[in-house]
Amino acid sequence: MDQLNLLCIIFLLLGHRLIHARPADSGYGGGYDKPADGPLSFGFYDKSCPNLGMIVRWGVWAAFKNDTRIAASLLRLHFHDCFVDGCEGSVLLDDTKDFKGEKNAFPNRNSARGFELIDSIKADVEKACPSIVSCVDILAIAAREAVVLSGGPFWPVALGRLDGLVASEKSANEQLPSPFEPLVNITAKFVAKGLDAKDMVVLSGAHTIGFAQCFTFKRRLFNFKGSGKADPSLDTPFLSNLQTSCPNSDTSNSKLVPLDAQTITRFDNSYYKNIVGNSGLLESDTALITDPQTAAMVKAYSADPFLFAKDFAASMLKLGNIGVLTGQAGQVRKTCGLLN
C-alpha cells in the first residue's frame, strides 16, 4: 500500500471525531436556536443528519485517491461560490431560461471542476437524509476535507446555509478577482466581501495546490507589459522552465502548470517561499511582494508554516460566512445543478 493511501485511510479512521470538533465553551446547538457565528451553527445537522461528515469525507477521499488535483478544484469551487453574491451554491447551478449562471463565466469556463463530485456526494447524502442538507453546506465541508487530505489545516465548518434561487454570469465576471488585475483592485474586491488585506494574502496561499492554464501567466514569459521581453522579476531558471512548458503559441494556452512546483499536491507554505524567491507563477502572486504591507505577511508565512495554517483556517471561517441564506431566503436543492 503506498504512503498516500495509507495516510488517507488513517485520516478516515481518525477523522470522524473531528467533523464535530468545536470549542468547549461555544454552546453550539442544532438548528437556528443557538447560532454559533451569525445564523450558522456547528451542530446544525447533529440530529437531522448525524453521518453527514463521514459521507462527505468518504466521497472526497474516494475522488482524491484517484485524482489529487480534485482538492484544489473543490477549494476553488467553494471560493468562487462564496465570492459571488455569497455562499449559496450559485456556482453549482446550470443555466435556465431565466438566467445565465456562473459555470460559463470567464473565471469558471473550462476551468472550474468538481461539479460531478458534489453531485455524487449530494446523492449519497440524500439517501441518508432526504431534503435535509443543502448543496452549499456539502461544498463547504468538501473544501475543508480537501485541504486536510492535502496536509493542510482543519477548521470547524459552521452549517445551516440554504441554496440560492438564482445565479449570475455577470456577477461572476465582475466580482471574482483576476490574476491580471492590479493588487489594489484585488484587495478592494476582498474588502467588498467583508474580508481584509490579511485575508487576501492568506487565502491566496490556496495556490500552494492546484494548477493554472498557461494563458493566465504567459504574457509574463514573452511580452510582459508589451515589452516584447519576459518579466524581469522572474527567477531565471524558473522562467526558462515555464517557457519550455508554455511555448509562445496559442496551442499551449490551455496547458496546465502547477501553481506551486515545489510541493505540487502538498498544502504547505511553499507558495510564499516561491514568491520570496521570485518564483510566483501568477502576476497577482508576485504582486504580493511589491507592497510593504502584503510583503511583510508573505515573508512571515514563508518563514512560519504554523502561522499560515492557523491564519488560513481563520480566513476560511470568514469566507464561509459571506452572504449566507437562511430561514425562508433559499431552499435545500435535491439536485445541486437544478432548482426544486
What Rg value do the Cα atoms of the chain yield, rounded?
20
pTM, entire model: 0.89
Contacts for 23-30: CB closer than 8 Å, 24+ residues apart: none
Q: Give the integer Cα–Cα distance in Å for 332 and 336.
A: 9
User: 207-250 pLDDT, tens per residue?
Assistant: 999 999 999 999 999 999 999 999 999 999 999 999 999 999 99
- For residue 327, the model assigns a pLDDT of 86
- The three cell numbers locating residue 70: 480534485
**What is the DSSP secondary structure assignment for residue 331, as one 8-state letter?**
B
Identify the burial level of 275 via C-beta atoms within 10 angstroms of its C-beta, where 0-12 means exposed, 13-18 middle and 19 or more buried: buried
| CB contact at 8 A, 218 and 248 | yes
Q: What pLDDT is attached to residue 328?
A: 87
pLDDT of residue 39: 79
- d(Cα 123, Cα 146) in Å, to the nearest integer? 19
Which parts are annotated binding residues for substrate? 177
Low-confidence ranges of the chain (pLDDT < 50): 1, 6-37
Known catalytic residues?
A: 80
| DSSP three-state, residue 85 | coil
Q: List residues forming the annotated binding site for heme b.
A: 207
